[in-house]
């Protein structure tokens, strides 16, 4: 089966999952973390090369302070508990997002996990934390503008590669498939530039209910899609026409 080289997942629906059970929203986040762990292992086993998980958006800072602070503790606990397992599974960990907005202890745990896994050569696991695509693009534009102002680059040198190199995702290929759970059909400020030709897959399952089978279903759906990137697939090319362009346009 043709796998995405880069799979990105918007893990949505934790709060609703908990509320449906009469539990506080944070219960959904706890279960959601367990599901993330399972899906990471499964992607690694399948041989997916890059996996980006949207864990906390730049806009999620707007949530009640108690929920935000719980999410931060959960993230830290996940990293501290999982670091060694990631090494065992040969998974390289990194993050995208405005890391400086995170609490100091979370930043420390992120850096420790990145250091511990930096030699790993298997799955490239990227957490999007405090991540917003518009913020990422804004930063890139600002950094490029400064280089132009300082005379290190001319405006004519700005091309798509230059922009790519100034994004948090520099060095990682664009996502081939983006999965969003929970029935919402939007991107919510995730990888806007990078998703130019990503295949989108939306499913109703709330993230804490997401299973390996759901993952396989999404991957099978992806494998069956025809990606054209604006061109034509050879077998889809129209037969040669006997009419000239002028006749057709008349
Ligand atoms: C996704 O689940 C996790 C985060 C955004 C941190 P939500 O918390 O958005 O759950 P719903 O969408 O409210 O159900
Ligand atoms: C997107 O989910 C962010 C994450 C899954 C981390 P949200 O629940 O924050 O998105 P909206 O607010 O429904 O668009
Ligand atoms: Mg949500």
For residue 161, being part of any structural domain is answered with yes
For 145-190, the pLDDT digits (tens) are 999 999 999 999 999 999 999 999 999 999 999 999 999 999 999 9
Query: Using a 6 Å cutoff on CB, does residue 124 contact ligand 1?
Result: no
State mean pLDDT over 68-97: 98
Domain tally for the chain? 1
pLDDT category at 139 given cuts 50, 70, 90 is: very high
Query: Which atom of ligand 1 lies at the shortest distance from residue 11's CA?
Result: 1
For residue 203, being part of any structural domain is answered with yes
pLDDT category at 233 given cuts 50, 70, 90 is: confident
SS3 string, 226-238, reads: CCCCCCCCHHHCC
pLDDT category at 235 given cuts 50, 70, 90 is: low
State mean pLDDT over 72-82: 98
Query: Using a 6 Å cutoff on CB, does residue 16 contact ligand 1?
Result: yes
Query: Using a 6 Å cutoff on CB, does residue 13 contact ligand 1?
Result: yes
Plot region of 213 (φ>0 → left; ψ -120 to 50 → alpha; else → beta): alpha
For residue 245, being part of any structural domain is answered with yes
pLDDT category at 242 given cuts 50, 70, 90 is: confident
The gap between the terminal CA atoms of the chain, to the nearest Å, is 46
Query: Which atom of ligand 2 lies at the shortest distance from residue 59's CA?
Result: 9
Query: How large is the greatest C-alpha to C-alpha distance in the chain, in angstroms?
Result: 70
For residue 125, being part of any structural domain is answered with yes
Ligand whose nearest atom lies closest to the CA of 14: 1
Is 1 exposed, middle or buried (CB count within 10 Å of its CB: 0-12, 13-18, 19+)?
exposed
Q: Whose structure tokens read 């931060």?
A: 72
Q: Does position 234 have pLDDT exceeding 90, yes or no?
A: no
CATH number at residue 197: 3.40.1180.10
State mean pLDDT over 96-117: 98
Most informative mutation of 14, 35, 205 for ligand 1 (most atoms within 8 A of CB): 14
pLDDT category at 19 given cuts 50, 70, 90 is: very high
For residue 1, being part of any structural domain is answered with no
How much is the pLDDT for 241?
75
Contacts (Cβ under 8 Å, ≥6 apart) of 74 = 26, 29, 30, 33
Residue 11, domain extent: 6-249
d(Cα 176, Cα 54) in Å, to the nearest integer? 15
For residue 214, being part of any structural domain is answered with yes
State mean pLDDT over 125-141: 98
């Amino acid at each position: 089966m043709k796998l995405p080289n880069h799979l990105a997942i918007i893990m949505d629906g934790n709060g609703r999952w908990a509320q449906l059970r009469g539990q506080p929203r944070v219960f959904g986040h706890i279960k959601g973390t367990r599901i993330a762990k399972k899906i990471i292992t499964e992607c690694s086993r399948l041989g997916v090369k890059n996996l980006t998980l949207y864990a906390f958006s730049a806009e999620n800072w707007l949530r009640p302070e108690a929920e935000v602070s719980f999410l931060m503790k959960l993230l830290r606990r996940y990293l501290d508990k999982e670091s060694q397992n990631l090494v065992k599974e040969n998974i390289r960990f990194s993050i995208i997002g405005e890391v400086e907005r995170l609490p100091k202890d979370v930043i420390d745990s992120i850096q420790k996990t990145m250091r511990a896994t930096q030699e790993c050569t298997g799955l490239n696991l990227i957490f999007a934390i405090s991540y917003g695509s518009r913020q990422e693009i804004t930063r890139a534009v600002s950094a490029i503008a400064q280089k132009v102002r300082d005379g290190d680059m001319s405006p004519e040198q700005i091309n798509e590669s230059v922009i790519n190199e100034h994004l948090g995702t520099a060095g990682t290929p664009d996502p081939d498939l983006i999965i969003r759970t929970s029935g919402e059909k939007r991107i919510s400020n995730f990888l806007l530039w990078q998703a130019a030709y990503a295949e989108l897959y939306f499913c109703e399952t709330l993230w804490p209910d997401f299973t390996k089978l759901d993952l396989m279903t999404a991957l099978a759906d992806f494998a069956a899609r025809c990606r054209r990137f604006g061109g034509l697939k050879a077998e889809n090319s129209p037969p040669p026409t006997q009419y000239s362009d002028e006749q057709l346009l008349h």
